[in-house]
Amino acid sequence: MSSDKLADFVSVNSWQIRKDFSYFGDFGTRGVGYNIENLARQIKKILNLDAVHKTALVGVGNLGSAVLAYPGFGIYGFCITAAFDSDPAKVGRKMNSVSIEDISQLNTLGKREVDLAIIAVPEQYAQEVADALVKAGIKGILNFSPRRINVPKKVKVITIDIATDLARLPYYIPSS
């Protein structure tokens, strides 16, 4: 497939596609274009997505349940292999074939080859959960709480704050 067609898919220009790819290598064939299958494989390798990443979920409330039920993780090689909550009524139950464990069991993650975690707890507990995750050897955290969490810089945190994202919209709409 040509860079022109790829560009259409993501609404950018063809030269942006080619230039960006060129920073990482020569993925295409001149006169022909890009082989999609090979391209996907190369990009996955660059993004370190070519192996399965075991992921832990902390907080099985509404948001956590939505994450557990989310069907879109597989294509990137993510697998949620552990879920934690502090509510005794939830601990021991299963959701989407994942057993919910007590929050005190976070320290077992290191031995279970889990390297990523998703924080979906009320914001006031976000920092202490993050501390426990770091202590357990987690390397990356997806943080759904609107609170800034402090971690050693060897640990990567990506925060999704729903309210802040929503707050970007009004700027683009004419004030009524």
Partner DNA sequence: CTATGTGAATTTATTCACAGCA
Partner DNA sequence: TGCTGTGAATAAATTCACATAG
Residues that bind DNA (CB under 7 A): 1-4, 13-16, 18-19, 21-22, 26-34
Q: Provide the CA 97 distance to its chain's centre, in angstroms.
A: 20
Q: Which does 89 bind (CB under 5 to 8 A by kind): a second copy, DNA, none?
A: none
DSSP 26: -
> Strand order of the sheet with strand 94-95?
94-95, 98-102, 78-85, 53-58, 116-119, 140-143, 156-159
Alpha carbons 155 and 134: distance in angstroms, whole number: 8
Residue type at 144 in one-letter notation: F
The answer to the question of residue 79 lying near a second copy (CB under 8 A) is no
Q: Which does 86 bind (CB under 5 to 8 A by kind): DNA, a second copy, none?
A: none
Q: Which is nearer to a second copy, 36 or 162 (CB)?
A: 162
What is the binding site for a second copy (CB under 8 A)?
46-49, 51, 53, 55, 61-63, 65-67, 69-70, 72-73, 75-76, 78, 113, 115-116, 118, 123, 139-142, 146, 156, 158, 160-176
